[in-house]
Amino acid sequence: MRIIWSSKALGDLVRLQAFLEPVNPRAASAVFERLTSAPDLLLLQPRMGSPLPEFMPRDVRRLIVGNYELRYELLQDEIWVLRLWSTREDR
């Protein structure tokens, strides 16, 4: 199994870091590291995230990483990271 980042997820990562960097560079770096390494856990337990029934029949799930939500989709031999955002955002 391999992890693939969607262009939207990569854009989310850049946006989150750009938001945090001016306020607290150390926190921005820690959040970036935590969010980029979190999908590695899914290689061991791909179904550890909560399923999102609204996406059925696709197997889309969410994983909470600190104050951030990571949405991903399980495919046969791939894990697609779809989106990232702060749980504090008004979405």
Going from N- to C-terminal start, the domains of the chain cover 2-86
Domain 2-86 CATH class label: alpha beta
Residue 8's CB is within 10 A of a number of other CB atoms, namely 13
Residue 7 reports pLDDT greater than 90: yes
Cα separation of the two ends of the chain: 31
CA-nearest of 71, 74, 73, 50 to 85 is: 71
pLDDT per residue as tens digits for the range 16-69: 999 899 999 999 999 999 999 999 999 999 999 999 999 999 999 999 999 999
